[in-house]
Amino acid sequence: MNAPHPAKVAGIDSTVPSPAHTVASAAPDASPAAPQSATDTADTANVTDHPGTPCAPGALLQDRLAGWVSDLTTLHELTERLVRTDSLADGLQELLRAGAALVGARRGLVTLEPADGLGPDTTAGLGLARADLGHIETVPRDALPHGRILDGLPVGEGGLAEPDLFAEQRLDPRHREVAARLGYAASYALPLSTEGTANTGAAGSTGSNERTQRTARLGAAVWFYDEPAEPDERQRHLAGLYTRYAAPHLARLLEVERTRASMATLAEELLPTRLPRVPGVQLAARHRTGPRGGGDWYDALPLPDAALGLAVGSVTGAGPSAVAAMGRLRASLRAYAVMEGEDPVAVLSDLELLLRLTEPARSATALFGYCEPALRRITLAGAGHSPPLLIGQRRTEYAETSVSAPLGMLACWEAPSVEVRAEPGETVLLYTDGLLHRTGGPADRAFARLHAAAAGVPRAARQDPEAVAEHVLRTVLPDGRAEADSEEDVVLLAVRFD
């Protein structure tokens, strides 16, 4: 039999079911609402479900088992939600929400400071605005519970509770001021750490290695109560179990975040750090790298006779190998452009031969243009690449280019070049297929969407290639899809003629 739910402790969230532990009978002056811990023992002869009704020992055991099942079910549901997160930001938010439900709080924050010093160091809040987090950061670190944890203060399995901040005489004045401003009166903090094993060396003549358990700090989480309160023993136990499970998952998401950042940095370093300044044209570029790193690139290279070499391209695949291949092809194309850039077909023919000899299992698309700003003319050669888009005051149209196969697909690549002539003030937009693929629609709809976005560039913005590129990118990929993780890279290169 189940007794009524125990009284709410520290404002426990009703979304987390409380175990229906049987309540032991107490003296008339005792509190009738104190919940019995799952680990407590009681004299079953004196236990009742209701006054005057004896409770058999088997019923008490059944009731405790029901409470344990309830707790396990709650933990299972919360951890299932956690493992479905695939980004560090989402994982931190789920940790804060689940922890707040388990300990009965409404707000909280988590700070990551990996012990290896490789970062990223970050802070995320629940129910706290960015300004609120800024206020908390003004408090001396050693005055904050999570700050003391990050500084290495030993914390037991029960966490670090401050049940009444304003009754604490040793509370730092700055902490008191910030707590009053933000409206919290108590806190509860837990460490986030991962555990592993390490070899400590040979032991004895047998050559066996001793393995020791080591703990690596990941960060700390703290939850705030609006009124003086603290979690009870059951809440602490559940929160401790949850954070011990969450920490390894957050550590994996952290490694993914580091890998993404490294790949993005590597890809950016292989691309031009700045665009050249050539009389007669203005240049602007946009580049978005996928989470695993992709092989899309762009280039703008000053050439003899006041000419300019323009290129966009994409290497098949993703990850470090695709990024490395992209860097090799881009560097090779620059060399060929310097030697014979006035003949774009020869440049791509040389590039195709190099790709076929050095990386026979890989293909690539490319578009190379020999730009003569004084004549407002671009001589183009393309290998399986999408046509450029001309954007002017009186026209928005795709340039007609010859149909050709990607590099590395045929025994010998060959395609005629075409000329694109622009009017004063017009912009030629070069792009990679990733821009079209990220729309998620068929190719014809993606091309139509790109055309509509270019045609919709405000007249005032057409004087600035930066504004043109930004407008096209945000219009073709609305709702944050330009910044969201995607398997596809995106490259835009806008060339405006004076």
pLDDT digit string, tens, across residues 250-303: 999 999 888 878 877 777 777 887 899 999 999 999 988 776 667 899 999 999
> For residue 447, which of 395, 399, 495 has the smallest C-alpha distance?
399
Do 247 and 286 lie in one domain? The reply is no
Type of residue found at 261: A
Tell me what the mean pLDDT of segment 217-222 comes to.
Answer: 94
Give pLDDT, residue 120.
87
- 51 belongs to a structural domain: yes
> For residue 239, which of 450, 434, 71, 401 has the smallest C-alpha distance?
71
- β-strand 364-372 against 107-112: which pairing, if any? unpaired
Do 233 and 280 lie in one domain? The reply is no
Cα of first residue to Cα of last residue in the chain, in angstroms, is 85
Tell me what the mean pLDDT of segment 63-76 comes to.
Answer: 86
- 30 belongs to a structural domain: no
What is the CATH classification number for the domain harbouring 493?
3.60.40.10
Q: Percent of the chain, pLDDT > 70?
A: 82
Residues 6+ apart with CB under 8 A from 177: none
- 130 belongs to a structural domain: yes
Beta-carbon count within 10 A of 147 CB: 20
Residue with structure tokens 């007609």? 400
> For residue 295, which of 194, 209, 408, 217 has the smallest C-alpha distance?
408
**Phi, psi dihedrals of residue 219, rounded to the nearest 5°:** 170, -155
- SS3 label, residue 194: strand
Tell me what the mean pLDDT of segment 471-492 comes to.
Answer: 82
- Are 110 and 145 within 8 A, CB to CB? no
- Are 33 and 18 within 8 A, CB to CB? no
Do 239 and 347 lie in one domain? The reply is no
DSSP string, 296-346: EEEEEEEETTTEEEEEEEEEEEESHHHHHHHHHHHHHHHHHHHHHTT-HHH
Tell me what the mean pLDDT of segment 389-414 comes to.
Answer: 86
- 203 belongs to a structural domain: no
Among residues 228, 243, 262, the one where a domain terminates is 262
Counting beta carbons within 10 angstroms of the beta carbon of residue 63, is it exposed (0 to 12), middle (13 to 18) or buried (19 or more)?
buried
> Is residue 44 over pLDDT 70?
no
Do 406 and 357 lie in one domain? The reply is yes
> For residue 387, which of 404, 373, 374 has the smallest C-alpha distance?
404
Sign of the torsion angle spanned by Cα atoms 25, 29, 33, 37? negative
What pLDDT band is residue 204 in, cutting at 50, 70 and 90? very low
- 204 belongs to a structural domain: no
Counting beta carbons within 10 angstroms of the beta carbon of residue 341, is it exposed (0 to 12), middle (13 to 18) or buried (19 or more)?
buried
- SS3 label, residue 233: helix
> For residue 219, which of 145, 131, 158 has the smallest C-alpha distance?
145
- Are 218 and 247 within 8 A, CB to CB? yes
Give pLDDT, residue 205.
42
Number of folded domains that form the chain? 2
Length in residues, the chain:
498
- The mean pLDDT of the chain is 83
Structural domain boundaries enclosing 82: 1-25+35-198+211-262
Do 257 and 362 lie in one domain? The reply is no
> Is residue 25 over pLDDT 50?
no
Cis peptide before 120 (omega within 30 of 0): yes
What pLDDT band is residue 95 in, cutting at 50, 70 and 90? very high
- Are 295 and 490 within 8 A, CB to CB? no
Instruction: Rank 64-68, 272-276, 372-376, 474-478 by mean pLDDT and report only the highest.
Output: 372-376
> Is residue 50 over pLDDT 60?
no
> Is residue 38 over pLDDT 60?
no
> For residue 428, which of 419, 437, 436, 440 has the smallest C-alpha distance?
419
For residue 184, give Cα distances in angstroms to 11, 141, 281. 13, 18, 58
Give pLDDT, residue 116.
87
Residue with the larger pLDDT of the pair 484 and 71:
71
> For residue 388, which of 419, 425, 343, 354 has the smallest C-alpha distance?
419
Do 354 and 487 lie in one domain? The reply is yes
Q: pTM value?
A: 0.61
- 69 belongs to a structural domain: yes
Tell me what the mean pLDDT of segment 103-114 comes to.
Answer: 94
Do 224 and 285 lie in one domain? The reply is no
- 478 belongs to a structural domain: yes
What is the CATH classification number for the domain harbouring 148?
3.30.450.40
Q: Measure the CA–CA gap between 215 and 20, rounded to whole angstroms.
A: 35
> For residue 24, which of 43, 1, 52 has the smallest C-alpha distance?
43
Give pLDDT, residue 291.
65
Do 173 and 80 lie in one domain? The reply is yes
Give pLDDT, residue 200.
46
Tokens linked to 307: 């000419």
Give pLDDT, residue 342.
93
Do 275 and 296 lie in one domain? The reply is yes
DSSP string, 345-384: HHHHHHHHHHHHHH-TT--EEEEEEEEEGGGTEEEEEEES
The percent of the chain in helix, strand and coil, each rounded to the nearest 5, is: 35, 25, 40
Give pLDDT, residue 220.
95
| Plot region of 440 (φ>0 → left; ψ -120 to 50 → alpha; else → beta) | left
Q: What is the dihedral of CA 10, 12, 17, 20, to 10 degrees?
A: 20
Q: What is the Cβ-side half-sphere exposure of residue 46, based on CA atoms within 13 angstroms?
A: 7
> Is residue 343 over pLDDT 60?
yes
Do 226 and 374 lie in one domain? The reply is no
What pLDDT band is residue 395 in, cutting at 50, 70 and 90? very high
Among residues 262, 289, 304, the one where a domain terminates is 262
- 446 belongs to a structural domain: yes
Do 246 and 379 lie in one domain? The reply is no
Q: Measure the CA–CA gap between 439 and 449, rounded to whole angstroms.
A: 9
Do 252 and 289 lie in one domain? The reply is no
